[in-house]
Amino acid sequence: TEQEVPSKVIEIAEGIKTMRIRGAGRIARAAAEALKIAALEYGGVKEVSSFKKYMGKVADLLIATRPTAVSLPNAVMYVLASLHRANPRTFEDAVNAVVFSAEKFINESINAVKIIAETAAKRIRENSTILTHCHSSVAVSAITEAYKLGRLVKVYSTETRPFFQGRITAKQLLENGVPVVQIPDSAVRYVMHEVDHVIIGADTVASNGAVVNKIGTSQVALAAKEARVRVYVVAETYKFSPTTLIGEPVPIEFRDPAEIVPESWLRNHPRVKVLNPSFDVTPPEYIDAIITEIGVIPPQAAILVLMERLGWALDKIKQGGF
């Protein structure tokens, strides 16, 4: 009989789906944690082959939660690749391989955020005003670090309709002592003349350097380009997408129309269609640099990051895909 997926794992998957757990980095770490829990709570036949099958099922469940952030499948593949790399002979070795690599992923991820924040902060000039969009934990860390260096006077944080992640950004920055001004998304161009740097996170970086991030990011980048304001993307290397190398498009998530207008209004206006795309693509020409834990790169060098950091994933593609 098929081994059941533990309830704690299902809870994490639900958390990602309903956006209780959100943001590309947190999603990736939560998925790694879920794989570790799944491995430790496996109660089926103590054989490597059935354990692998079960872990594959858990992986599919996690990957199916949200489509856009490649950090999720990258984290899952990273952890499961250890099952093949280690070539475990006993069931216990197989469990240990999963637990070890899940913990390694989480620790390296947290460390990457720290390195990126320090690197990004050094790029901020004295007396800067920064604008950020949505809630990126890496952007919040980078902005906080710049503030500690005494370089910030103000941060504009967009409210980020329809889910209002900007409120999380404003709250966290205020907790860190950073002066924040919350603006509606439509006020971005109005304030852009005051802004020195735009700092945003990423859900996925494509091999050509295009950045997929929260809907509205490309509009922010467009307004910044017009005003000659530098745009920095802060992103860990596990947000780079190996499959974009073979021309796969990044899937964009569309969410419930009820996030945009109340359900009652929709019922009263049945002929009005609502479109709720959750992410958009900012072309590389609109990005000055991508700041990663292995260095600051022009977006066009994304392909080099993929080759250096996700070589194992590229090998998998060559063998016929994931």
**Candidate ranges 51-59, 146-154, 190-198, 200-208; the one touching ligand RUB (CB under 6 A):** 200-208
Q: How many helices (H) and strands (E) are present in the chain, helices listed first?
A: 12, 10
DSSP structural state of residue 102 = H
Instruction: Enumerate the β-bridge partners of residue 289.
Output: 232
Q: Does 134 bind ligand RUB (CB under 6 A)?
A: yes
Task: Strand 128-132: give its sheet, edge to edge.
Answer: 180-183, 152-158, 128-132, 197-200, 230-234, 289-292, 295-297
The answer to whether 71 touches 52, Cβ cutoff 8 Å, is: no
Q: Does 3 bind ligand RUB (CB under 6 A)?
A: no
Q: Which listed residue (213, 218, 241, 282) binds ligand RUB by CB under 6 A?
A: 213
How is residue 282 written in tokens?
């900012």
Residue placing its CB nearer to ligand RUB in the complex, 119 or 165: 165
**Candidate ranges 47-55, 80-88, 135-143, 259-267; the one touching ligand RUB (CB under 6 A):** 135-143
CB of 211 to ligand RUB, least distance (A): 10
315 tagged catalytic: no
Q: Which listed residue (29, 197, 214, 309) binds ligand RUB by CB under 6 A?
A: 214
CB of 21 to ligand RUB, least distance (A): 9
Q: Measured between alpha carbons, how far is 120 from 292 in angstroms, rounded to an integer?
A: 9
User: Could you tell me which residues come within 8 angstroms of residue 140 by beta carbon, excluding any fewer than 6 positions away?
Assistant: 132, 169, 172, 173, 176
**Site track for ligand RUB across 244-283, x = CB under 6 A:** ----------------------------------x-----
User: Could you tell me which residues come within 8 angstroms of residue 213 by beta carbon, excluding any fewer than 6 positions away?
Assistant: 133, 134, 136, 200, 201, 202, 203, 233, 279, 280, 282
**In 3-state terms, the chain is what percent helix, strand and coil (to 5)?**
55, 15, 35
Q: Does 165 bind ligand RUB (CB under 6 A)?
A: yes
Q: Does 23 bind ligand RUB (CB under 6 A)?
A: yes
Q: Which listed residue (145, 203, 288, 293) binds ligand RUB by CB under 6 A?
A: 203
Residue placing its CB nearer to ligand RUB in the complex, 31 or 202: 202
196 tagged catalytic: no
Residues contributing to the site for ligand RUB (CB under 6 A): 22-26, 69, 134, 136-138, 165, 201-203, 213-214, 278
**Annotated active-site positions, please?**
134, 203
